[in-house]
Amino acid sequence: MVDGRVLLDGGAPLLPHMHRMGLDPGDIAVVFITHFHGDHTLGLPPFVLHRVFVDRRPLTFVGPAGIEDYLEKLWEVSWGPDWKRVMRPQFKVRYLTARPSGSAAGVKYETVKLDHGTMGSNGYRIHMNGKVVAYSGDTEPTAPLDKLVNRADVAIVEATGPGDVFSHMSWENAAKLRKRHPSTRFLFNHVYSGSTTGAVKDMQVIEV
């Protein structure tokens, strides 16, 4: 989460973590989705349930082509026939396919297409309070990633594990990326085992 109102992907357990940290799920104005893999989206159904029954402020999702179809199917699988009959009419939502640059819920962003297996992934450069936060989601260590993080104030980038990690970035390549961009502060996530320099912890709050 950035600035209390921008959510970057929605892995599980999203809603319990927000409650533990004292964050209001209703404050989220826009959710940027990088790609449709489960570890980046399956925390969203309980969050959406909150936005249907507890806090009905408008919500925008930005993501790859097909985002509306994918998420509406996810909500329907999660909540069954009651989704369309009872819940969907109360859900104030907009679905936007990410553009090369644009604005959503008052938040300016740029999109960089990253390499990640056959699906690919959207990286985002979020402009807030005069700073740029770059977010990769999942990515391979290819040229578009350097474009994403170049001159960003903060880069939240995956570093899955040591050695050869299919369709992801290794700790070794993460270290090389940071060395190539010394003016950017790197925060590494998606660390599946062990730890590496610069890795963030669950529910860690960082001042930018």
Kindly report, residue by residue over 42-60, the tens digit of the pLDDT. Answer: 999 999 999 999 999 999 9
pTM given for the model: 0.95
Kindly report, residue by residue over 7-42, the tens digit of the pLDDT. Answer: 999 999 999 999 999 999 999 999 999 999 999 999
Total Cβ atoms within 10 A of residue 54 = 10
- Crossing angle of helices 67-79/44-53, nearest 10°? 80
Kindly report, residue by residue over 90-148, the tens digit of the pLDDT. Answer: 999 999 999 999 999 999 999 999 999 999 999 999 999 999 999 999 999 999 999 99
CA distances (Å), origin 72, targets 51, 99, 118, 126: 14, 20, 23, 25
Of 92, 94, 125, 91, the C-alpha closest to 108 is 125
Lookup: tokens for 63: 């993501």
* Per-residue pLDDT at 188 exceeds 70: yes
Domains for the chain: give ranges and CATH numbers. Answer: 1-98 (3.60.15.10), 100-202 (3.60.15.10)
pLDDT in the model for residue 99: 98
CA distances (Å), origin 13, targets 17, 18, 23, 58, 91: 6, 9, 14, 22, 21
β 154-158/185-189 pair status? parallel
What is the rounded distance in angstroms from the CA atom of residue 159 to the CA atom of residue 170?
5
* Per-residue pLDDT at 205 exceeds 70: no
* Per-residue pLDDT at 206 exceeds 70: no
Contact present, 43 and 12 (Cβ < 8 Å): yes
Residue recorded with tokens 């170049």: 150
